[in-house]
Amino acid sequence: THVVTENCINCKHTDCVEVCPVDCFHEGPNFLVIDPVECIDCTLCVDECPVGAIYAEDDVPKGQEKFLDINAELAPKWHVITRKKDALPDAEKWDGVPGKLELLDR
Ligand code: F3S
C-alpha cells in the first residue's frame, strides 16, 4: 500500500485524490488517509502531492512508521473523497513544520 504521512496534516491539498484509480482516499478534518485494503500501489498520487506527503509503505521516512497504522485505522471511519477541493487556508505555512502528528484531528 501507499501511505499518507505527517506533512499532509493542516495542508490537505487534495490533488492526490483526483488521480486515484480505485478511490481509496478518505477525508478527515485536516488530513487524508489511504485505505490499505483498496490501494493497488499504482503510485500515481505520489507525484501529485505538492508537499511530498505520500510514500510507498517500504519508503516511509524514519519516525513516521506509525502512519501505516493511522491510515489503516482512520480509512474505515472517514468518508471517501474523489474530487479536489481547496487546500486548508494555512497550507503554505504548515508545509514542513515538524511535530504535526499531535495536531491530527480525528
Ligand atoms: Fe495531503 Fe498531499 Fe493529498 S497534502 S491531501 S497527501 S495532495
d(CA 43, CA 93) in angstroms, rounded, equals 27
Domain boundaries, the chain: 2-83
The CATH classification number of 2-83 equals 3.30.70.20
For residue 47, what pLDDT band results from cuts at 50, 70 and 90?
very high
Q: Is 15 in the pocket of ligand 1 (CB under 6 A)?
A: yes
What percent of the chain has a predicted confidence (pLDDT) above 70?
100
Verify whether ligand 1 is closer than 6 Å to residue 10 (CB atom). no
Share above pLDDT 90 across residues of the chain, in percent, rounded to a whole number: 100
Give the model's pLDDT for residue 11: 98
User: Three-state secondary structure along 41-92?
Assistant: CCCCCCCCCCCCCEEEHHHCCCCCCHHHHHHHHHCCCCEECCCCCCCCCCHH
Number of the ligand 1 atom closest to the C-alpha atom of 91: 4
Q: Is 33 helix (H, G, I), strand (E, B) or coil?
A: strand
For residue 41, the CA-to-ligand 1 centroid distance in Å is: 16
ipTM: 0.96
